[in-house]
Structure 1
Amino acid sequence: MLTGPPRLLTSRLLQRDQKEMRVVKVLILTFGTRGDVDPYIALAARLCVEGHEAVVGAPEEFRRDVEACGAGFEPMGTEMLRLVRGSMAEMAGPADSVRLIARMNQAMKASLLEQWRAAQRVEPTLIVAHPKALGGVHIAQRLRIPVVASIPLPFLTPTGDFPVPFISRSLTGPVNRASYHVNRFSAIAYGGMINRFRRQVLGLDRITRFSDYLHTDDGSRLPVLYGFSEHVVPVPADYPGNAHVTGYWHRSGSEWTPPVHLAEFLHSEDPTVYIGFGSMGFGKHAAERGRLIAEAVDRAGIRAVVATGWGGVDLQEASPRILTLDEAPHDHLFPRVSAVVHHGGAGTTAAGLRAGRPTLVAPVLGDQAFWGQRVAALGAGPEPVALRTLTVQVLADRLRQLVVDPQFSRQATAVGERLRQEDGTGTAVRVLENISTEHG
């Protein structure tokens, strides 16, 4: 269980006396949809502001956003994202994701080579690697530079407080800690591919199929950079000093003007709720999900901005209560609505809480139930309801709760105020500076 008040994680690195820091050239390797990539663009932007050099390796569609923030860009994983996106619209449920993995092997191999080519061009002095970027740790070993594993959820560091976030209920302390052996999955599932990459491309020795990749050759732990907030997930007392919880990473100073039709729709005294399930829609149920949302919105007597995602929601009949859009930047849209309903992705949850908006999470898979439980534990919304179990009446009841219950509004506002006072990217930059200096 998550217990006790939030505690800022300190470490030997952060407690060192500040001194002149050399310029760090950081290669950030990440992969996925916007929620996976945007935090790393924010980190890159802050590194550039602080006088460092940053290059982001990510799918091609993020090039414009990366370059707009002053960072360099290297294409990585574009074909993998195309496969995921193309398959998602045809998926009937989470089980199809297993079959998708079998079709991605060639794209994964290509991504490993893209990561290596990017590193050769950039010549970084430090690598920040999301676990989905399988090559980051190995490339850093080849270049003999420090590497920092990074992910915006408490996934990599074993703790007795709660299990790996893919497990939706807490177990006993030792079992919670043991659940983090799931981090060995990459080596077990892709060990052959990784070892061929290590031997044939990087000229390194092979690794065991049971490696957790989070330890260096001498057995010491890799630094881990967590872009989530202690105000949402209190830092466990048994976290070691290599785990740095910095606060959420978001881009400051960016501007967005909503389209005229959206601005006009939002200009109303009636409560308006955002509803969207990101890339978790599973297109074969799109029409059914669209009918459910339309009927629930009408029954609740509210208005809604509905994001259709990758074909995950199909609203076949127009309704004066609903405005549909493909997507919009959450950091800018969420403060303009009364409440939010979503799948519980780490980035979407962060945006809703930071905006101070009551939140309902309807999880589909992965860590989404974990974030839904955290929202409920904070009092910023009701208990999560799995998307597959939502009915018209349940959704209508939850929608009314979100906009009527003053407790949700008060708690969400309080959480939002705390999150907006954080400087997550600034803290992350300090950690990276110190790691670079420690490495010499």
Structure 2
Amino acid sequence: MKIGMQTWGSHGDVRPFLALAEGLQAAGHDVTLVITTIDMDAYAQVGAARGVKVVAVGEPIIPADEAAKILRTIYAIKDPMRQVGALMRLMFAPVEDEMFAASRRLCEESDLLIGHHILHPLQVAAEHAGKPYVSVFLSHVSLPTEHAHPLAKLGRTGNRLLWWLTRVMLNRVLLHYPNRLRRQLGMPPARDLLDDVWLATPLALVGVSPAICERRPDWPASVHVCGFLDMPNVEVEGTVPPALDEFLAAGAPPVYMTLGSWMPEDLAAEKETLTLFTAAARLAGCRAIVQSPSAQACGFASDENTLFVTAAPHHLIFPRCAAIVHHGGAGTTQSATLAGKPSIVIAHLNEQEHWASELRRLGIAGKVLKRRSVTARMLADRIAQALATPEMAVKATAVGAAMRKENGVALAVRLIGALETGASQRR
């Protein structure tokens, strides 16, 4: 098949799609992946060596100081729906028309379309073109079930009521985006974001490890938990330089500290974050590796207890660390869990808080910290808790071992291939 794929977001939203695209290409399909991200210039050539055509759309890239202001605005908002609305308005809407044009081009040249579940431009274009469409959920937080809700634990009846309210609010905040595009194509409006847009597909893949995400019996039959869409090192993640290897070997396993794409790039805000990290590590009495794009420019230098790195391949480094401090993004969360390490989560978004609660449910993380209120003392206490709780390390090792037996990409490729088989049989 000629397969068109599209994603939007940060590195954690691109990497799983690169992994799936590579798997589909290796299975004999002709794959084009369209990406839109603040770091799109770093990914444009990534797929070439693997035979995947990668196209970046949505320039200009948001300048670092503007992106930092947007991120601070978003994580300062406490209400989850207002936060989602701000994220879409400030970071998605400005490039929506360019993404929609790319979506329509993909539909013209592809037999099958695969999109990030929030990529409504591709869903609308695929429906209009009459092409089969697969949505990929990189988190299970958006899948309604009477068995759970990310904001509360109210029992089945309470969860159903809360999900009904969630649907109402999501439709109020977000449904006008796909309906604007549908009007352009003369299509009737979608009535429900979840059912008509995010899940309007013959196949919905949940790219989350079954060790973390249990498939709910009330999910539609089209929903499949395929597992973490992982892959070997991506070029933009860097390599393991000698200094990093030497630091790891020079003493007790360190704590790795990263906020991923949520690390601010303007120097004043980045310095504030680095001060938080280094003070917490000192208070906790641990060695630390701190991932930062501009530590030296912020006035920080490595020493025998703290090493600053601009980037590092997490799948090689995390297994050699004692615990991981991170923002609770889907990719970093599952990478830390795959490595068998406890997590300390500093969440910026409701979705990241959901990941933190899932890790706590598994017994491999403590209570979530929130970026808008975290202090060095609070972070140090969470680190000390993780390092001083053997049960947490044992459970993390067990969950990581279970994850390493999975192959999310292979299962996803088989499920997508079954769509082609089914279509051939119907013909």
TM-score (normalised: structure 1): 0.82
Deviations along 1:353-397, one digit per CA (max 9) or x if unpaired, are 001111111212121111111111112222222233332222223
2:279 is the alignment partner of 1:328 = no
2:221 is the alignment partner of 1:244 = no
Rounded Cα–Cα distance in structure 1 between residues aligned with 2:295 and 2:348: 12
What is aligned with 1:74? Answer: 55
Identity, % of aligned pairs? Answer: 28
What is aligned with 2:127? Answer: 141
What is aligned with 1:40? Answer: 17
What is aligned with 2:118? Answer: 132
Rounded Cα–Cα distance in structure 1 between residues aligned with 2:299 and 2:33: 39
2:156 is the alignment partner of 1:176 = no
User: Closer, same or farther in 2 for the Cα pair 1:220/1:70, shift >3 Å?
Assistant: closer
User: Closer, same or farther in 2 for the Cα pair 1:78/1:231, shift >3 Å?
Assistant: farther
CA RMSD of aligned residues (A): 3.0
**Helix, strand or coil for the counterpart of 1:89?**
helix
Q: How do 1:89-238 residues align onto structure 2 when only pairs under 5 Å count? A: 89-90=68-69, 91-93=71-73, 94-95=75-76, 101-102=88-89, 105-120=93-108, 123-163=109-149, 165=150, 167=151, 169-180=152-163, 182=166, 188-189=172-173, 194-195=178-179, 197-200=181-184, 203-208=185-190, 210-212=191-193, 214-215=195-196, 222-238=202-218
How far apart are 1:185 and its partner, in Å?
6.9
Contact kept in structure 1, 2:135 and 2:201, CA below 8 Å? no
Rounded Cα–Cα distance in structure 2 between residues aligned with 1:86 and 1:51: 43
Q: How do 1:197-346 residues align onto structure 2 when only pairs under 5 Å count? A: 197-200=181-184, 203-208=185-190, 210-212=191-193, 214-215=195-196, 222-252=202-232, 257-281=239-263, 285-308=269-292, 316-318=299-301, 320=303, 321-346=305-330
Q: How many residues align?
A: 404
How far apart are 1:37 and its partner, in Å?
0.8
How far apart are 1:261 and its partner, in Å?
2.2
User: Closer, same or farther in 2 for the Cα pair 1:106/1:273, shift >3 Å?
Assistant: closer
Deviations along 1:297-323, one digit per CA (max 9) or x if unpaired, are 1122211111126x7998634352222
What is aligned with 2:4? Answer: 27
* Alignment-mate amino acid for residue 28 of structure 2: G
What residue ranges of structure 1 are gaps of 5+ in the alignment? 1-23
Deviations along 1:202-245, one digit per CA (max 9) or x if unpaired, are x442314x3326348xx976421110011112222222311100
TM-score (normalised: structure 2): 0.84
Rounded Cα–Cα distance in structure 1 between residues aligned with 2:65 and 2:133: 32
How far apart are 1:53 and its partner, in Å?
2.1
How far apart are 1:110 and its partner, in Å?
1.8
How far apart are 1:425 and its partner, in Å?
0.8
Rounded Cα–Cα distance in structure 2 between residues aligned with 1:124 and 1:42: 19
What is aligned with 1:389? Answer: 373
How far apart are 1:419 and its partner, in Å?
0.2
